[in-house]
Amino acid sequence: MRIRPGSYFLIFLLLLGLSGIIGSLAFQNLQSMTLPLMMSSVIFVLAIVELIKDFRRQADTQAASEASAESRTSTRVEWQRFGVALGWMIGFAIVIYLAGFIIATPLFLVFYLKRQGRGWLMVALVAVVTTAVIYSIFEIGLKAPLYRGLIQNIF
């Protein structure tokens, strides 16, 4: 079985989540440990789920594979999709760094979901609910302040 380009990224996320889990367990204080442990655990579990789905999809695709020219084209398309996904993630990280997590999350969701062709009602609902849930869990529930960003720290 050949590993697809998207699988390499999922393996990277799996290792990133695992290293975050291990690193967060080194913290002495429970408050310091909670946020990185939760985030790393979520990344780890989601990467495992996606990797399993990717391998199952690959097995199904291999069973019904066509000519090698089509295979080369699909590999190119996979690399393009990987590049687009990586670009979205890097862009999200940059906006978090500049504007903060609470501003970046709805902004990212609006741009991403509109690019995917979703309607404004769904986009607004997902952006507001996701941001409210994240804020409630971390700021209110865990009393773990989310990163404010460079722009908010200046003002």
pLDDT in tens, 87-107: 888 888 899 889 988 899 999
Q: Is the distance from CB of 1 to CB of 58 less than 8 angstroms?
A: yes
- Can you give the pTM of this predicted structure? 0.55
What is the model's pLDDT at position 101?
A: 87
Mean pLDDT of the chain: 82
pLDDT 10s digits, 119-144:
999 999 999 999 999 899 888 988 88
Strand residue runs (E) in the chain = none
Entry field: residues in the chain: 155
Rg (CA), the chain: 19
CA dihedral over 8, 9, 13, 15, signed as positive or negative:
positive
